[in-house]
Amino acid sequence: MQTRAGKVILPVFQKIQLCDGEDQGAQLFARRSGFDKELYYRADIGIADAYDERNGKKCNLFPVVTNASGGVWEPALLYLAYRVFNLANCTMATNHNVADDLVHFKRFLDDKNLEFDNFDSPASYELPTYRYRNYLQRQFEQGFLPVSSAKRRLQTVIGFYRYLIQSEILTPKHAPWQAMTVKLHLRDAKGFARSRIVEKSDLRLKARMQPDPYAETIDDGGKLRPLSWEHQLLLIRNLMGWTNPEMALIHLIAIFTGARIQSILTLKQSNFPPKIAGYNAEYKLKVGPGTGVDTKGNKGIFLYFPAWLSQRICTYSISPRATKRRERTVDREHEDYLFLTKYGSPYYDTRLSMQKFRSEKTSRYNSNGQEVRKFKAGLINKIRQTDGVADFYYRFHDLRATFGMNLTDAQLQLVQEGKITLAQAREYVRFRMGHSSYETTDKYLNYRANLEFTHAIRDSYGAYLQDLSNVMLGT
């Protein structure tokens, strides 16, 4: 029996309207109520514009926030439905994150015996919004919650209340926060100045994190740690010895092209025609909008495959193993996927496929690379046990950073030899990595120098402390 607020995922979500049996489009349905069966008529809303799934008010994998009793928390339902059906850039994955944040907020309200719509008190510290802000502040300060998660949850709650107020679902007696407008002065990726007026609130966390330029990670869509040359060789050797050609190729593509997991797992067989098997040069492939291959931010970029890798991919794509997997596909649109599971399903659902409404859907999740992550965990354990490397570890996204550092090292070597300039090396790395700004590229260019500097300081300071302790101990 449920005792706390939670989240339920509906495989099929469709907005309907109860009606009489004589009404146009009426359909008879049965609903169980205890041991009895209740009959009712309903009509789908938006049947006339069913060509547009958003206007048709139907979608798959819709998250529902529930009360402690298991019933629907209606304000959250309305907000999540508004986001899905009215915001053009809202993805269902983002909506699931918003739902998780609202579950956290609802549990806080229940634990503190607060009502979400009680803004009767003139004292701000008694209002649910300020109390939740103070609670997140304490969670962060006590180390129970990362500052990024705390800030995201607070912004979710602010967006939730903004919607309720603008939709006139909620008319608070006292303002849930003090609003202010500020003018932001920004520079775009090309250095041009621009400004934007934004509305802010006084619901802010007091948390400033000092960036660490000497950390052994690179901030490129997450804190990434490039693999050392020794660990790269260890990983590749074990991949080649594993009887799983799909996972081996998936890893090799990441290491040698820098592609993200959603791009690799949505590659198509038609992207690698048989004729390129004879190429002796890099194979250039455009991915992004209009190609059927997903990219981060839906950005159009190019991937460059070494000749030997593109040849291996072509060989695999026409192999009996790959052919058998394609023959097991149920959905025709999956037949062109380069990589499929042994059941004929894609490892990763594309952005377009997730936008399509499937009335017959029964699963409560989309494929987003779970099988690759499961394989990775097993591979890490094998390398640790078989090769005796206890500190071996990687996240799949670290392979992108590994490609970036290999590329950077090669370019800086050419700079050192006087064959290209540093500016040319910088531009080449930025283009191959698909970076929008030079700021991210510079993190790769500076990584080795910062790492060597950090290790030198650590080693010299450690030696100094050891000498000092020897003097104090008289040894």
Q: What average pLDDT is seen over the chain?
A: 83
Task: Report whether pLDDT(443) > 80.
Answer: yes
Angle at which helices 74-86 and 92-111 cross, to 10°:
160
CA–CA distance, 403 with 444 (Å, rounded to integer): 10
pLDDT range class, residue 390, cuts 50, 70, 90: very high
Contacts of residue 403, Cβ cutoff 8 Å, sequence gap at least 6? 254, 255, 256, 257, 258
Whether pLDDT at 115 is above 60: yes
- Which residues are CB-contacts of 343 (< 8 A; sequence separation ≥ 6)? 328
Whole-number Cα distances in Å, 289 to 50, 294, 295: 24, 7, 8
β-bridge mates for residue 140, sequence order: none
Name every residue whose Cβ is closer than 8 Å to that of residue 448 and which is 6 or more positions away in sequence: 405, 408, 409, 412
Helix (H, G, I), strand (E, B), or coil: what is residue 139? helix
> Mean pLDDT throughout 449-458?
50
* 191 pLDDT tier (thresholds 50, 70, 90): low
Beta carbons of 159 and 83 less than 8 angstroms apart: no
**Can you give the pLDDT at residue 139?**
92
Range picked from 13-22, 94-103, 446-455 for highest mean pLDDT: 94-103
The residues spanned by each domain of the chain are: 6-16+44-175, 228-393, 402-473
The answer, yes or no, to whether residue 165 has pLDDT greater than 90, is yes
119-131 per-position pLDDT tens digit: 999 998 899 999 9
pLDDT recorded at residue 366: 78
Q: What is the pLDDT, as a whole number, of residue 462? A: 43
Nearest to 407 by CA among 278, 259, 295, 258: 258
Higher pLDDT, 58 or 178: 178
The string of DSSP codes covering 61-76 is EEEEEE-TTSSB-HHH
The DSSP secondary-structure symbol of 3 reads -
Which of 393, 402, 366, 394 has the alpha carbon at shortest distance from 259?
402
- Check if the beta carbon of residue 402 is closer than 8 Å to that of residue 259: no
Contacts 24+ apart (CB under 8 A), 71-78: 73/5, 73/102, 73/106, 75/116, 75/117, 75/160, 75/164, 75/169, 75/170, 76/102, 76/106, 76/160, 78/163, 78/164, 78/167, 78/169
What are the structure tokens assigned to 250, written together?
Answer: 């998936």
288: confidence class by pLDDT, cuts 50, 70, 90: very high
- Has residue 377 got a pLDDT over 80? yes
What pLDDT sits at residue 458? 42
Residue 454 has a pLDDT of 45
Q: What is the pLDDT of residue 42?
A: 65
Give the separation between CA 244 and CA 259, rounded to whole angstroms: 20
- CA 118, CA 135: separation in Å to the nearest integer? 17
Check residue 215 and give its pLDDT. Answer: 58
Nearest C-alpha neighbor of 430 from the set 309, 306, 301: 301
192-242, pLDDT tens digit by residue?
677 777 778 888 888 766 555 555 677 777 788 889 889 999 999 999 887
Q: Is the dihedral of CA 65, 68, 70, 73 positive or negative?
A: negative
| SS3 per residue for 315-347 | HHHCCHHHHHHHHCCCCHHHCCECCECCCCCEC
Over residues 322-338, the mean pLDDT reads 90
Whole-angstrom Cα distance, residue 127 to residue 119? 6
Low-confidence winner among 35-44, 96-105, 176-185, 412-421 (lowest mean pLDDT): 35-44
**Cα distance between residue 354 and residue 140, in whole Å:** 35
Residues 6+ apart with CB under 8 A from 88: none
Q: Is the pLDDT of residue 253 over 90?
A: yes
**pLDDT of amino acid 434:** 85
**184-193, 263-272, 351-360: range with highest mean pLDDT:** 263-272
Residue bearing tokens 């998250």 = 63
Is the CB of residue 17 less than 8 Å from the CB of residue 42? yes
- Give residue 321's pLDDT: 95
**pLDDT category of residue 465 using cuts at 50, 70 and 90:** very low
CA separation for the pair 244, 224 (Å, rounded) = 26
d(CA 330, CA 361): 13
The CATH code belonging to domain 228-393 is: 1.10.443
**What is the pLDDT, as a whole number, of residue 174?**
93
Closest by Cα among 223, 259, 226 to 445: 226
- 135 or 197, which is more confident: 135
Tell me which of 87 and 462 has the higher pLDDT. 87
Q: Which residue has the higher pLDDT, 389 or 21?
A: 389
Phi, psi of 415 (to 5 degrees): -65, -45
The residue ranges of DSSP E strands in 193-352, in sequence order, are 193-201, 218-219, 223-224, 283-287, 301-305
Give SS3 for 198.
Answer: strand
Confidence of residue 342 (pLDDT cuts 50, 70, 90): very high
Question: Of 136-145, 170-179, 202-211, 303-312, where does mean pLDDT reach its minimum?
Answer: 202-211
Q: What is the pLDDT of residue 55?
A: 45
